[in-house]
Amino acid sequence: MTILETERLRLREMTDADFPALAAFLQDSRVMYAYEGAFSDDEVHAWLRRNFERYLADGFGLWVVELKATGEVIGDCGIMRQETPSGEVLEISYHLRFDHWRNGYAIEAASACKHHAFDVLGASEVCSIIRSTNAASMNVAIRNGMVVRGQFTKHYKGVDMPHLVFAVSRDA
């Protein structure tokens, strides 16, 4: 089911059939360095399940990002509820296959998600929670109109990971 379309991209709900395409980037350590490494098959399956649960509970989650011209899956992007020390936020998150970095796809998809959150979901603010070492994702957040509004440390895979909370309000 298509959720959003941009000039070059289509964002749609994930299906079980997307496992190989998701694994292509979730199992790439270059893409997943902010997560302390590539995912296992079990972690990719869990990623799918969590998003199916989000679709049912919230009506949104991470969506597959496809190139409209070819239908090729190049990543995921979407909106998720996330807990922070300051409370629950709506987060725009994105992951792209390494061979599709630096083509403007991340900002194109993230911007569409921001407008969807404001215009369809009625959000007053959206965030992107980004590991402090992930300069590429920070640049996407900044280009999406976000500024740093907070920081906290996540504990994942036995590692303390400082994260910045980038945010933009509907009024900005």
Instruction: Give the separation between CA 114 and CA 92, rounded to whole angstroms.
Output: 7
Domains and CATH numbers, the chain: 2-169 (3.40.630.30)
| Count of CB atoms situated within 10 Å of the CB of 36 | 13
Q: What is the pLDDT of residue 115?
A: 97
HEC profile of 46-74: HHHHHHHHHHHHHCCCEEEEEECCCCCEE
DSSP strand pairing (73-84 vs 87-96): antiparallel
What count of other Cβ atoms lies within 10 Å of the Cβ of residue 163? Answer: 20
3-class DSSP state of 132: coil
pLDDT digits (tens, 9 = 90+) for 74-101: 999 999 999 999 899 999 999 999 999 9
* Gap between the Cα atoms of 104 and 67, Å rounded: 12
Coil, helix or strand at residue 165: strand
Indicate the pTM of the whole model.
0.95
pLDDT in tens, 25-46: 999 999 998 888 899 999 999 9
Does the structure show a pLDDT above 80 at 121? yes
Q: Where are the extended beta strands (E) located within the chain?
A: 2-5, 9-12, 62-67, 73-84, 87-96, 125-131, 147-156, 159-169
In the structure, what pLDDT confidence band is assigned to residue 69 with cuts at 50, 70 and 90?
A: very high
Average of pLDDT values for 104-111?
98
Percent of the chain with pLDDT over 70: 100
Residue 14: pLDDT over 90: yes
Q: Kindly give the pairing relationship between strand 9-12 and strand 62-67.
A: antiparallel
163 alpha-carbon distance from chain centroid: 15
Is the pLDDT score of 17 beyond 80? yes
